Amino acid sequence: MTTATTRPTAVTGAVGTAHTRVEGRDKVTGAARYAGEIPFADLAHGWLVLSTVARGRILSVDTASVLGMPGVLAVLHHGNAPRLDVDYVGMLGVPPDPTAAVFQNDRVPHAGWPVALVVAETPEQAREAAEALVVTYEEEPHDIGFHAGRPDAHPVDGHMPGVTEKGDLEAGFAASAHVVDAEYTTPEEHHAMMEPHAATALWDGGRLEVVDSNQGTTWVVDELVRMFQLEPSAVRVRSEHVGGGFGSKGVRAHQVSAVMAATLLQRPVRVVLTRRQMFSLTGHRSPTTQRVRLGADADGRLRALDHRSLSRTSTVWEFVEPSAGVARVMYDADAHRTANEVVRLDVPSPTWMRAPGEAPGSFALEAALDELAERCGVDPVELRLRNDPDRGPVSGLPFAGRDVAACFREGARRFGWAERDPRPGVRREGRWLLGTGTAAASFPAGALPSTAAVTAEADGTFTVRIAAADIGTGARTALTLVAADALRVEPDRVRVRIGDSDFGPAGIAGGSMGTRSWAWAVTAAVEELRERLVPGAPVPPEGITARSDTTAAVAGLAQKERHSFGAQFAEVAVDVTTGEVRVRRMLGIFSAGRIVNPLTARGQLVGGMVWGISMALHEEAVRDGASGGLYGPDLAGYHVATHADVPVVEADWLEGTPDPDDPVGIKGVGEIGIVGAAAAIANAVWHATGVRHRHLPIRPDRVLRAGGPRV
């Protein structure tokens, strides 16, 4: 018998107040278990073998000698692996990447392609056997040459139209008082999250269980069900704690090969990728080469804008890095053209990586804006205020709150922008030249359909179940606060369970859509529950559960330009005699709708800005022309920012303009922090030195080659 009643204590205000992470104690004590850390009896270990050639055909896989090695249980490869169904379009609207649908044929489309899985009793045995496995190839010449002007470049629609066009561009440029025409490049970049991809697969009572590290259990279940042609109810994917994702943690070779091996051996099999394997198996951000042409009146008002971006994909999967998309939101001109083109090369498949499109696109566009400001003699902040459109430049739709101007005004005030001397290369402090720069930021505020269940428990607490993923965003905590406010109870009476596909379909932790999508479903389920709770009546021992599904609500959302916006500011120091560039401080002011948890939201925004530092100064995966593989694919060869690279980085936000048509009000903070950050830094490097750096990262050798101030 329970004495608890359904009378909720009328409490609100959890949302908007800083709360430490509900799983924080587990994370600081080491108690939080990630995918590769859940113990299983009779566990076997799989180790992937990757191709050493960039293009060709597998001639033979010498399994016999390896099967005789100590502890080796099986070798899976294209000659013996089960056939998968790959002829489908998954929940993210794309077909599966063949890099994940392993061992289906003898073709090798890039260096580091998975060719076999060796399974053994211990990881050490699996590793040694995988290294000993002899695979022979018929090698074919490969092409990895990525550069502007490739004749095989073609526009691709992807998640947005490949090309948008209005007005007469050439006439617009001819009539412009100032024209900027420049090419910008960004290199191949990698997610490099700290936790390597890991999965354990096992059959348990006729059900396939996969313990994984992913950005959405619904997403992974959906792909595995289709590939292995299983009943949806026969597969369960769990992903409790996730050591970072950034777009890379969907379905990859590790889950698929683990399922194959677990099915074959009928025992649990764990496959963990090595750091080096991650560099070819888990996606990356394509390099881009972008030509931006801006034509403006004498006062800096844009007459013509042309942004063409070329990215690279593999020969087996089409993915476009839509860098020109950012101009469709940020700036209008009578003549306006944007194009996202792609070229297919013998390289691994790229994928979504934090702010896909916006991150490299904003670098090119916002750096070009800075060049235009210089030409026009207009302050860079003022130039952006003058070119702030009131409707979507391409869509013509109204903005659901566009607070770019307010972000710039607040940021400029706090950064001390008014005191800035616009002349480049005139500030020196010891060996360092100093400069400041700014750039705008935007990222779409989308939502994905989700379901949630909320249970009023007999003991007066509430349990929320939703297949959300907390990849470091603080989703578990945010949803606790959202549910608490909706239930009008203290957050400590709410328990949020996530990361389990058995909780029903939900959107992914990606595209800055996670918290927005899940909060919507949780709120709807709470509303339903509150209707069913009778005040004062006892709750039965099994509790009272209400469910929600936002599919119809998401589809019915009024058509608007919905985005987070922001203004980025950076101060840098450059030693042109050594080429060293140091960021001294950064400030980002954002308008991102309702902020659920200021503590974790600030972490997200600052983390994005740290990615901007890393993108501007450090990150570059170098592909070796002769082999087609990466040079130094590890964390010593691929540099991400360290503690010492990150100075005072501040992020703050404005209340923003509320949108009466939006029932959630949350816009997402996962990606906006990186957008514009690299451009602000590059623009500051120009202000420090008088030299434009249009090719990222701004490495010491590039600074040295470019020389010192022209003043």
Partner 1 sequence: MREFDYRRADDVSGAVALLGADPDARYLGGGTNLVDLMKTGVERPARLVDVRTLPLDRIEPADDGGLRIGATVTNSDLAAHPLVRDRYPALAQAVLAGASGQLRNMATVGGNLLQRTRCGYFTDVTRPCNKRVPGSGCPALTGEHHNHAVLGASDHCVAVHPSDMGVALAAFDAVVSYETADGPGELALADFYLPVGDTPHRETALPPGALVTGVTLPPLPVAARSRYRKVRERASYAFAIGSVAAALDVSDGVVRDARLAFGAVASRPWRARAAERVLTGAPATAEYFAAAADAELAAARPLPDNGYKVTLMRNLVVAVLSELAEEAAR
Partner 2 sequence: MAPSTSSTVTLNINGEKHTLSVDHRTTLLDALRERLDLTGTKKGCDQGQCGACTVLVDGRRSVSCLQLAVASDGREITTVEGVADGDRLHPVQQAFLDLDGFQCGYCTPGQICSAIAVIEEHAAGWPSAVTEDVRPDAGPPPLTPEEIKERMSGNLCRCGAYVQIAEAVARAAAETRSENRNETEGAAA
Choices 121-129, 180-188, 293-301, 369-377; region in contact with partner 1 by CB under 8 A: 121-129
Q: Taking Cα atoms as reference points, which of 564, 612, 563 lies closest to residue 587?
A: 612
**Burial status of residue 64 (CB atoms within 10 A of its CB: 0-12, 13-18, 19 or more):** exposed
Buried b (16+ CB within 10 A) or exposed e, 19-43: bebbbeeeeeeeeeebbbbeeeeeb
Binding partner of residue 241 among partner 1, partner 2, none, CB cut-off 5 to 8 Å per kind:
partner 2
| Contact (Cβ atoms closer than 8 angstroms) between residue 612 and residue 680 | yes
Closest CB 618 distance from partner 1, rounded Å = 5
Among 115, 120, 224, 242, binds partner 2 (CB under 8 A): 242
Q: Decide whether 158 or 633 has the Cβ nearer to partner 2.
A: 633
Max CA pair span of the chain = 83
Q: Decide whether 3 or 642 has the Cβ nearer to partner 2.
A: 642
Task: Write out the binding residues for partner 2, residues 264-283 only, by CB under 8 A.
Answer: 272, 274-275
Q: Decide whether 271 or 296 has the Cβ nearer to partner 2.
A: 271
Is residue 17 at the binding interface for partner 2, with CB under 8 A as the rule? no
Residue 338: phi and psi, rounded to 5, are -135, 145
Among 579, 598, 663, 709, binds partner 1 (CB under 8 A): 579
Is residue 192 at the binding interface for partner 2, with CB under 8 A as the rule? yes
Is residue 704 at the binding interface for partner 1, with CB under 8 A as the rule? yes
| Contact (Cβ atoms closer than 8 angstroms) between residue 672 and residue 590 | yes
Q: What angle do CA 236, 238, 241 make, to 5 degrees?
A: 175
Is residue 584 at the binding interface for partner 1, with CB under 8 A as the rule? no
| 139 belongs to the catalytic site | no
Closest CB 82 distance from partner 2, rounded Å = 28
Closest CB 453 distance from partner 1, rounded Å = 45
Choices 322-330, 396-404, 554-562, 598-606; region in contact with partner 2 by CB under 8 A: 598-606
Binding partner of residue 3 among partner 2, partner 1, none, CB cut-off 5 to 8 Å per kind:
none
The CA distance from 348 to 545, in Å, is 45
Binding partner of residue 413 among partner 1, partner 2, none, CB cut-off 5 to 8 Å per kind:
none
Q: Decide whether 633 or 690 has the Cβ nearer to partner 2.
A: 633
The CA distance from 357 to 161, in Å, is 13
Among 56, 357, 437, 474, binds partner 2 (CB under 8 A): 474
Binding partner of residue 243 among partner 1, partner 2, none, CB cut-off 5 to 8 Å per kind:
partner 2
Binding partner of residue 710 among partner 2, partner 1, none, CB cut-off 5 to 8 Å per kind:
none
Strand order in the sheet with 563-575: 428-429, 432-444, 563-575, 580-591, 648-653
Q: What angle do CA 602, 685, 575 make, to 5 degrees?
A: 110
Choices 162-170, 481-489, 683-691, 696-704; region in contact with partner 1 by CB under 8 A: 696-704
Closest CB 535 distance from partner 2, rounded Å = 37
Q: Decide whether 49 or 327 has the Cβ nearer to partner 1.
A: 49
Task: Please enumerate in sequence order all residues whose Cβ is within 8 A of that of 59, keeping only pairs 6 or more positions apart, or say none.
Answer: 106, 136, 137, 138
Closest CB 281 distance from partner 2, rounded Å = 15
Positive or negative, the Cα torsion across 548, 554, 556, 562? positive
Token duo for residue 38: 């859940």
Binding partner of residue 393 among partner 2, partner 1, none, CB cut-off 5 to 8 Å per kind:
none
Is residue 649 at the binding interface for partner 2, with CB under 8 A as the rule? yes
Q: Decide whether 119 or 525 has the Cβ nearer to partner 2.
A: 119
- AA letter at 488: R
Q: Taking Cα atoms as reference points, which of 294, 328, 292 lies closest to residue 310?
A: 292
Binding partner of residue 431 among partner 1, partner 2, none, CB cut-off 5 to 8 Å per kind:
partner 1
Is residue 196 at the binding interface for partner 2, with CB under 8 A as the rule? yes
The CA distance from 111 to 107, in Å, is 12
DSSP per residue over 215-231, as a string? S-HHHHHHHHHHHTT--
Positive or negative, the Cα torsion across 464, 591, 608, 629? positive
The CA distance from 577 to 206, in Å, is 67
Closest CB 245 distance from partner 2, rounded Å = 8
- AA letter at 671: E
Question: How many residues interact with partner 2 (rule CB under 8 A)?
Answer: 63
Binding partner of residue 604 among partner 2, partner 1, none, CB cut-off 5 to 8 Å per kind:
partner 2
Q: Taking Cα atoms as reference points, which of 664, 637, 348 lies closest to residue 513?
A: 664
Q: How many helices (H) and strands (E) does the chain have?
A: 17, 27
Among 97, 188, 189, 195, binds partner 2 (CB under 8 A): 195
Closest CB 630 distance from partner 1, rounded Å = 8
Is residue 545 at the binding interface for partner 1, with CB under 8 A as the rule? no
Binding partner of residue 428 among partner 2, partner 1, none, CB cut-off 5 to 8 Å per kind:
none
Is residue 318 at the binding interface for partner 1, with CB under 8 A as the rule? no
If one counts every other C-beta atom within 10 angstroms of the C-beta of residue 534, the result is 12
Is residue 580 at the binding interface for partner 1, with CB under 8 A as the rule? yes
Binding partner of residue 618 among partner 1, partner 2, none, CB cut-off 5 to 8 Å per kind:
partner 1
Q: Which of 128, 209, 358, 671 is catalytic?
A: 671
Closest CB 144 distance from partner 1, rounded Å = 12
Is residue 642 at the binding interface for partner 2, with CB under 8 A as the rule? yes
The CA distance from 676 to 612, in Å, is 8
Task: Write out the binding residues for partner 1, residues 260-299 only, by CB under 8 A.
Answer: 276
Is residue 633 at the binding interface for partner 2, with CB under 8 A as the rule? no
SS (H, E, C) 73-116: EEEEECCCCCCCCCCCCCCCCCCCCCCCCCCCCCEECCCCCEEE
Closest CB 472 distance from partner 2, rounded Å = 3
The CA distance from 258 to 271, in Å, is 6
- AA letter at 559: Q
The two beta strands, 494-497 and 462-465, are parallel
Is residue 62 at the binding interface for partner 1, with CB under 8 A as the rule? no
- AA letter at 25: R
| Contact (Cβ atoms closer than 8 angstroms) between residue 436 and residue 417 | yes
Task: Write out the binding residues for partner 1, residues 628-687 only, by CB under 8 A.
Answer: 629, 631-632, 636-637, 639, 641-645
Q: Decide whether 156 or 587 has the Cβ nearer to partner 2.
A: 587
Closest CB 614 distance from partner 1, rounded Å = 9
Q: Classify 236 as helix, strand or coil.
A: strand
**Burial status of residue 542 (CB atoms within 10 A of its CB: 0-12, 13-18, 19 or more):** exposed
Is residue 32 at the binding interface for partner 2, with CB under 8 A as the rule? yes
Q: Decide whether 35 or 84 has the Cβ nearer to partner 2.
A: 35
Give residues in contact with partner 2 (CB under 8 A). 20-21, 23-34, 36-37, 39, 122-124, 127-128, 191-196, 241-244, 246, 272, 274-275, 471-474, 599-600, 602-604, 606-611, 614, 634-636, 640-644, 646, 648-649
Give residues in contact with partner 1 (CB under 8 A). 52, 124, 127-128, 131, 276, 431, 577-580, 582, 617-618, 622, 624-627, 629, 631-632, 636-637, 639, 641-645, 699-701, 704-705
Active site residue ranges: 671
